[in-house]
Amino acid sequence: MSTRHQIIEQLGSGGFGTVYRAKDTQLNREIAIKRLKATEGSNRSELMSTLLEEAKILAALRHPNIVTIYDIQSTDEHAEIIMELVKGITVEQLIKRHLLLARDFSFIATQILSALSVAHKHSVLHCDLKPSNLMLCATQGDNYEVKIVDFGMSPSASNITGQTTKIIGSIYFMAPEQLDKGEVSVQTDVYSLGCLFYYMLTGAHPFDGDTTVQVMASHMLGNYKPITTIRKDLPHELCDWVEKHISKNPEDRFQSCKDALNALIKLNVECPTEAFKLEASSKSKRASLDVRPITTSSLAPEESKKAKTGNEKDSEFVLPPHAAQLAEKHQKAEFNEVKKPLPSAPKEPKALAEQVIRIAPNSIWYFTIKGQRRGPIPIESLGGLIENGQLREEDSVWHPAYDDWRKVKDCEELKPYLDKVKEANKPDTVSLLSRLFKNKSKPETSDQPSSGILSSCASIVSIELLIIFFGTLVCGAYIWYKPDLWQFGTAVFGITLFCFGYFKLKLAEGRTDLLWLIAGISLPVFGDLLYTLTHLKMGAKSFLLMLLGMSLLLYIAIQSDLFHMISISTS
């Protein structure tokens, strides 16, 4: 391995290689390195071919819920893949802590199905879907997302669909046709997902046994315990949806992950949100009996989990104000009889998926700004980024309903926000004078005559008009008493108008953008005129004061020259 990548620790190992946490010293970021080591008797060219195939597979799958590959390298002893370091816990670790409520499950299942639908679109199968290959990672904004890892040894669907191949995968999640004839297809991934979903909800495998042969026989017979007999809290529609994945015959399953995703999105069922315990006799000993929402403690790494004392309170996920409002409306609409905890009982942490924006598949949006991927966020937050100018038409966004990333301008859901931006930036054709003296007050009502008059006066009178009015009075009074110094009085009035308009316009330019301020200073008159034409509301009045002041000074200069010429000619 090159000196650029420094190994920090080993994260895990499997049948095909070992994964390490490392640091990229040039880019100053942590990465993951998957190393395939050539053992005695192994064919090195075959190993490199497998590694290159994995790199191509991962590089082709550009999806927020699939781990990203950075580079590939090899030495005389081993070959390595440099990839994104996924920080979080596996679904296997989560299920050992507690089982999922329907809302968390829907949020996670949506992301998994969306990622696999894109993989299948690129003719890529996973063939090793299991809880240890799914990571749950905390993200910015106190949210979390799913990352599917270990696509590495999955064969291409275009090459092996319907053909016999070497059995790859975990025995608890393998389809009957894969165990019987070694046949793999999109349907085998769908079946594995069904076993995985069953495990996430119940903590038990749908097809189990004391030995490998018994597990295989259970798959072949297709007999399993219905989810509703284990989880009384789950809606029957959701249970039927999960069990359709594990139908014995491939024709009876969902024909694609896209179909399964669309069916999940259409499910609109009410689900309890209170934590409870399952009966010990109804599930496997490999998982927890607790069923509760996902909290910060749920996603804490193993070392953080062990270091936590019993007196420490599990921190809640923080939601933005709009999300809290949506959640409150949702609770009032669907759960009018929510039980309040006793005063002495500890406060139950709020779950991410308990909020409307966390569980609705239509609210899962990712976006890229300056090459960095962010999300998931609801569409309202995405619209706010567009209206604020942080997200532009050419930037990319992703949604479960899409097969790939799309530009903002190509998304029908985001066009209303783009229209608002265009309307706000639309050039104003109203003249400067009409803008300056336009009365924007509402019509006066009969029951509030005084307030109507005051509001009308307030809309007309401004500080610019007051300066012109009182300045004219002072200048006129000065000239009345000292007519010989009319030029001095008028010049002072003109300079005052110009300076006030100039400084007020510079303040407006600085608040709008520093570039406007630089242009107004470095390009006198032209920069100010350009700013005024594009920002009439903020610059029109100040620019008119500057014009009026310069006009007075120009008039005095012309009058002085004429007076001087007349005096010379008469003499």
Domain over 364-424 is classified CATH 3.40.50.880: no
Tell the residue number behind the tokens 């793999």, with chain if given: 184
Q: Is the pLDDT of residue 171 over 70?
A: yes
Q: How confident is the model at residue 219 (pLDDT cuts 50, 70, 90)?
A: very high
Query: What secondary structure letter does DSSP report for 214?
Result: H
Mean pLDDT of 205-224: 91
**β-pair partners for 36:** 79
Report residue 256's pLDDT band, with 50, 70 and 90 as the boundaries.
very high
User: ∠557-563-565 over CA atoms, to 5°?
Assistant: 105
Rounded to 5 degrees, φ, ψ at 349 are: -65, 145
* Rounded Cα gap, residues 230 and 292, in angstroms: 15
Helix (H, G, I), strand (E, B) or coil at 499: helix
* Binding residue positions: 34
Indicate if the pLDDT at residue 288 is higher than 60. Answer: yes
Give the model's pLDDT for residue 461: 56
CB atoms within 10 A of CB 141: 16
Mean pLDDT of the region 193-199: 96
Give the span between the Cα atoms of 220 and 181, in whole angstroms: 12
Which homologous superfamily does the CATH classification assign to the domain defined by 5-84? Answer: Phosphorylase Kinase; domain 1 (3.30.200.20)
- 154 pLDDT band (50/70/90 cuts)? very low
What CA–CA distances, in Å, run from 434 to 298, 429, 431, 501? 62, 10, 5, 18
Kind and range of the H or E run holding 479: helix 463-481
Examine the pLDDT at 70 and tell me if it is beyond 80. yes
What percentage of residues in the chain have a pLDDT greater than 90?
Answer: 18
Could you give the 3-state DSSP secondary structure of residue 14?
Answer: coil
The tens digit of pLDDT for each residue in 527-549 reads: 888 888 888 877 888 888 888 88
141, two tokens: 């904004």
Q: Which residues are annotated as a binding site for ATP?
A: 34
Domain boundaries, the chain: 5-84, 89-301, 364-424, 462-570
Whether the pLDDT of residue 191 is over 50: the answer is yes
Q: Tell me what pLDDT residue 564 has.
A: 60
Contact 314, 351 (CB under 8 A): no
The winner for highest mean pLDDT among 28-32, 167-171, 391-395, 442-446 is 28-32
Q: pLDDT (tens digit, 9 = 90+) per residue, 356-372?
A: 334 455 567 888 876 67
Structural tokens at position 109: 């299942």
pLDDT at 90: 92
Does position 201 have pLDDT exceeding 90, yes or no? yes
Residue that the structure tokens 């953080």 belong to: 304
pLDDT digit string (tens) for 389-407?
888 888 888 887 776 788 8
d(CA 478, CA 28): 71
The DSSP secondary-structure symbol of 293 reads: -
- Given a cut of 90, is residue 247 above it in pLDDT? yes
pLDDT at 108: 92
**77 contacts 17 by C-beta, under 8 angstroms:** no
Q: Which two tokens stand for residue 469?
A: 């009015």
Beta bridge partners of residue 423, listed in sequence order: none
Q: What pLDDT score does 134 carry?
A: 92
Return the sign of the alpha-carbon dihedral for residues 260, 261, 262, 263.
Answer: positive
| Measured distance CA(91)–CA(150) in Å, rounded | 14
- What pLDDT is attached to residue 11? 84
| Residue 204 confidence (pLDDT) | 92
The percent of residues in the chain predicted with pLDDT above 70, rounded, is: 70
- Is the per-residue pLDDT at 268 higher than 80? no
Lowest mean pLDDT among 75-79, 111-115, 140-144, 458-462: 458-462
Q: How many CA atoms lie within 13 A of 125 on its CB side?
A: 25
pLDDT tens-digit readout, 467-521: 888 888 888 888 888 888 888 888 888 888 888 888 888 888 887 778 888 888 8
Q: How far apart are CA 57 and CA 156, in angstroms?
A: 8
Q: Closest Cα to residue 528, out of 537, 519, 536?
A: 519
Output the pLDDT for position 38: 59
Given the structure tokens 């390595």, which residue do they identify?
80
Q: Quick one: pLDDT band at residue 92, thresholds 50, 70, 90?
A: very high
* Greater pLDDT, 100 or 150: 100
Report DSSP letters for 516-534, one per residue. Answer: HHHHHHHSTTHHHHHHHHH
Q: Which residue has the tokens 């300079």?
A: 495
Residue 113: closest CA among 411, 412, 413, 401: 401
Q: What is the pLDDT of residue 362?
A: 54
Q: Which 8-state DSSP code applies to residue 163?
A: S
CATH classification for the domain delimited by 89-301, as one of 1.10.510.10, 1.10.540.10, 1.10.101.10, 3.30.70.270: 1.10.510.10
* Residue 137 CB neighbour total at 10 angstroms: 15
